[in-house]
């Protein structure tokens, strides 16, 4: 390329009115041209003085760009000869072996592993995380922001460096103590602070437990239907989820499954997700004894136990465990706000030190500052007060949604899961296309996740809609459900 041509090439690509400095633009344009082999190896570039004059910019701007390119190996200066483009193409790659740009077809994931492509293809995370009737989302507008800000300011004023560094071990000790105190009282969990491990949420908790307690290829019983995230994490670790049906007493224990013990059993015994039944006492005892006999780890996800609207609060499965086979999982996503991204595990004492090392070694966690604020929020009673207020609010919204369902369908469609949690499941007749209803509802501005998407692949039973009411203002529940009801009636 001749110098005159290079000058024209650069003039066409430099934007003098742009917000980026000219030296940076010049560096990026020349670098991109070298990588694309538009500027070939061995080409001599004009001197900084000549190029500055041709481009109408300062010489220092050109020198800065040349120096940057030289420091990264794109240019080389020969004393008395000038500045040249270096040969950046490996000698061993002939033109015949040089890779052509890959063109991705529709639905293809270029470069992904088989499990990576499977994860993306079966992803359950919604692009919309707020609005009627998104399940599993609390009313974050009611969070006591002023209280939280005041507690934050206290720690900013103290300015402790350790709160701004990496997390060490199992997490901030005062928070672990506050969580242990709360769980012993509210959930009958048998634990002390040394057994509490702070994580970034349920997904990370499952990931950590599976890595420390399982091997690739291990089998894991999961409720069918169950939370999609459990499948995603297990599949990503090459563990094999085994769907086990759920009935009115929670996870069933079929004889054929019992003959082949898994490594893990994942359950939501206090409020099965997404159908809502409570695991019976007989099933709980049988599960604990089976786990002890066969050295199985039970993963108890107690995801929304704080919000129970009828009857007495249910004790945790972990509180009944005398064999140290239960790993208890929880988070603050439902009780405070999902963006907090703080979860916790209560692990059996014999493996507590290993989990503390593992969480620090694998994830290099942080958020110690936020953990300190949360510890104060709990210790000073704000957490318990917030739970009480939100329980009353959600109970009211649950009733409003149930009334809207009754008004639209007059008892023709049943609901499940209404005794606790943040959603109702509207049961649809067999053969009703809940996936199509969900898509059409979205066009009408309503979120209604299809129940069939929570079942294992291949199962045809289980049609319904998950309807989260926690984040929907009272006055919006009835009119919004009326729009959804019209869509449902078209399919009935």
**β-pair type (423-427, 464-468):** antiparallel
- CB burial of residue 3 (10 Å; 0-12, 13-18, 19+): middle
Residues 246, 170 share a domain: yes
Segment 419-437, tens digit of pLDDT: 899 999 999 998 899 999 9
Q: List the beta bridge partners of residue 266.
A: 222, 299
Q: pLDDT > 90: what percent of the chain? A: 68
3-state helix, strand, coil in the chain (%, to 5): 45, 15, 40
Q: Residue 405: CB partners within 8 Å, gap ≥ 6?
A: 413, 415, 424, 426, 481, 485
**Which CATH number is 320's domain given?**
3.40.640.10
Residues 34, 79 share a domain: yes
- Helices (H) and strands (E) in the chain — how many of each? 16, 15
The structural domain count of the chain equals: 3
Segment 308-362, tens digit of pLDDT: 988 777 889 999 999 999 999 999 999 999 999 999 999 999 999 999 999 999 9
User: Is residue 110 in some structural domain?
Assistant: no
- Identify the domain boundary among 384, 405, 435: 384
**Which CATH number is 66's domain given?**
1.10.10.10
Q: What is the mean pLDDT of each run of 10 residues along the chain (492 residues)?
A: 72 83 91 88 90 90 92 88 80 54 54 83 74 92 97 92 86 97 95 97 96 96 93 93 94 91 96 92 95 97 88 86 97 94 97 96 90 98 97 96 95 90 93 93 94 80 92 96 95 87
User: Is residue 307 in some structural domain?
Assistant: yes
H/E stretch holding 416: strand 415-416
Strand order in the sheet with 423-427: 415-416, 423-427, 464-468, 449-450
Residues 396, 375 share a domain: no
Residue 164: both structure tokens together? 């701004």
Q: Residue 15 has what pLDDT? A: 85
Helix ranges, 36-144 (H) = 48-55, 59-71, 114-121
Domain enclosing residue 380, as ranges: 115-123+136-384
Q: Residue 190 has what pLDDT? A: 96
Residues 318, 287 share a domain: yes
Pair 465, 434: CB distance under 8 Å: yes
In angstroms, rounded to a whole number, what is the distance separating the alpha carbons of residues 182 and 43?
71
User: Is residue 63 in some structural domain?
Assistant: yes
Residues 155, 61 share a domain: no
User: Is residue 362 in some structural domain?
Assistant: yes
Residue with tokens 């190996």: 73
Peptide bond into 448 cis (omega under 30): no
36 DSSP assignment: T
Residue 380: both structure tokens together? 């000073």
Peptide bond into 402 cis (omega under 30): no
Phi, psi angle pair for 220, to nearest 5°: -135, 120
Residues 193, 334 share a domain: yes
Residue 96: both structure tokens together? 């015949």
Alpha-carbon torsion 261, 264, 270, 272, what sign?
negative
Residues 379, 258 share a domain: yes
**Which CATH number is 478's domain given?**
3.90.1150.10
Determine the 3-state secondary structure of 222 from DSSP: strand
Residues 295, 197 share a domain: yes
Residue 466 has, within 13 A of its CA and on its CB side, a CA count of: 23
Pair 171, 372: CB distance under 8 Å: no
Distances (CA, A) of 437 to 222, 417, 444, 463, 482: 27, 20, 11, 11, 14
- Identify the domain boundary among 365, 384, 403: 384
Residue 241: both structure tokens together? 């989820």
- Model pTM? 0.78
- CB burial of residue 241 (10 Å; 0-12, 13-18, 19+): buried
User: Is residue 178 in some structural domain?
Assistant: yes
Residues 182, 146 share a domain: yes
Residues 358, 224 share a domain: yes
User: Is residue 213 in some structural domain?
Assistant: yes
Q: Give the residue among 52, 51, 53, 33 at the shortest CA–CA distance from 41.
A: 33
In angstroms, rounded to a whole number, what is the distance separating the alpha carbons of residues 73 and 86?
7
Q: Residue 109 has what pLDDT? A: 58
Q: Which residue spans within 10-148 are E strands per DSSP?
A: 44-45, 75-78, 82-85
Helix ranges, 110-263 (H) = 114-121, 145-158, 173-186, 202-213, 228-236, 255-258
Quote the distance between the C-alpha of residue 379 and its chain's center.
Answer: 27
In angstroms, rounded to a whole number, what is the distance separating the alpha carbons of residues 327 and 195?
10
User: Is residue 80 in some structural domain?
Assistant: yes
In angstroms, rounded to a whole number, what is the distance separating the alpha carbons of residues 263 and 238?
13
For the chain, give the mean pLDDT: 90
Q: Given its phi and psi angles, is residue 318 left (phi above 0), alpha (psi -120 to 50 degrees) or beta? A: alpha
Segment 374-417, tens digit of pLDDT: 999 999 999 999 999 999 999 999 999 999 999 999 989 999 98
Residues 419, 370 share a domain: no
- Identify the domain boundary among 384, 405, 427: 384
Pair 266, 230: CB distance under 8 Å: yes
Q: Residue 59 has what pLDDT? A: 93
In angstroms, rounded to a whole number, what is the distance separating the alpha carbons of residues 237 and 254?
26
User: Is residue 442 in some structural domain?
Assistant: yes
Residue 148: both structure tokens together? 């939280």
What does the buried/exposed string (b/e) look like for 156-177 if buried means 16 or more CB atoms within 10 Å of the residue's CB? eeeeeeebeeebebbbbbbbbb
Q: Residue 492 has what pLDDT? A: 85
Residues 184, 73 share a domain: no
In angstroms, rounded to a whole number, what is the distance separating the alpha carbons of residues 395 and 470?
9
Determine the 3-state secondary structure of 231 from DSSP: helix
């Amino acid at each position: 390329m001749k110098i005159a041509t290079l000058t024209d090439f650069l003039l066409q690509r430099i934007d003098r009115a742009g917000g980026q400095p000219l030296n940076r633009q010049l560096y990026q344009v020349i670098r991109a041209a070298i990588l694309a082999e538009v500027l070939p190896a061995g080409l001599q570039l004009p001197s900084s003085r000549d190029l500055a004059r041709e481009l109408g910019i300062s010489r220092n701007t050109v020198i800065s760009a040349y120096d940057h390119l030289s420091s990264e190996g794109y240019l080389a200066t020969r004393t008395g000869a000038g500045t040249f483009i270096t040969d950046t193409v490996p000698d061993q790659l002939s033109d015949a072996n040089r890779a052509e740009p890959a063109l991705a077809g529709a639905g293809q994931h270029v470069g992904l592993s088989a499990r990576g492509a499977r994860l993306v293809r079966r992803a359950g995370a919604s692009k919309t995380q707020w609005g009627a009737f998104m399940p599993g989302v609390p009313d974050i507008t009611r969070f006591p922001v002023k209280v939280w800000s005041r507690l934050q300011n206290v720690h900013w004023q103290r300015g402790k460096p350790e709160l701004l560094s990496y997390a060490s071990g199992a997490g901030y000790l005062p928070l672990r103590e506050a969580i242990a105190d709360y769980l012993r009282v509210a959930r009958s969990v048998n634990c002390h602070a040394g057994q509490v491990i702070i994580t970034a949420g349920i997904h990370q908790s499952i990931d950590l437990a599976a890595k420390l307690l399982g091997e690739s290829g291990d089998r894991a019983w999961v409720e069918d239907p169950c939370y999609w995230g459990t499948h995603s994490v297990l599949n990503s670790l090459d563990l094999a989820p085994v769907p086990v049906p759920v009935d009115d007493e929670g996870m069933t224990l079929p004889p054929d499954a019992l003959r082949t013990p898994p490594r893990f059993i994942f359950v939501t015994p206090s409020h099965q997700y997404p159908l809502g039944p409570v695991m019976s006492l007989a099933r709980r005892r049988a599960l604990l004894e089976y786990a002890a006999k066969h050295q199985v780890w039970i993963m108890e996800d107690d995801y929304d136990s704080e919000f129970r609207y009828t009857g007495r609060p249910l004790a945790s499965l972990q509180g009944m465990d005398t064999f140290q086979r239960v790993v208890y999982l929880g988070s603050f996503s439902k009780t405070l706000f999902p963006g907090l991204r703080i979860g916790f595990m209560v692990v059996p004492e014999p493996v507590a030190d290993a989990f503390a090392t593992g969480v620090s070694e694998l994830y290099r966690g942080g958020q110690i500052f936020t953990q300190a604020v949360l510890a104060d929020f709990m210790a000073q009673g704000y957490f318990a007060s917030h739970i009480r207020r939100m329980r009353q609010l959600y109970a009211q919204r649950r009733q409003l949604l149930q009334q809207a369902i009754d008004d639209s369908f007059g008892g023709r469609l049943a609901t499940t899961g209404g005794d606790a949690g943040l959603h109702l499941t509207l049961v649809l007749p067999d053969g009703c296309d809940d996936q199509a209803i969900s898509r059409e509802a979205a066009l009408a501005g309503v979120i209604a996740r299809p129940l069939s998407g929570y079942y294992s692949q291949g199962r045809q039973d289980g049609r319904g809609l998950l309807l989260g009411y926690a984040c929907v203002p009272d006055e919006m529940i009835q009119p919004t459900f009326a729009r959804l009801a019209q869509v449902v009636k078209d399919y009935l």
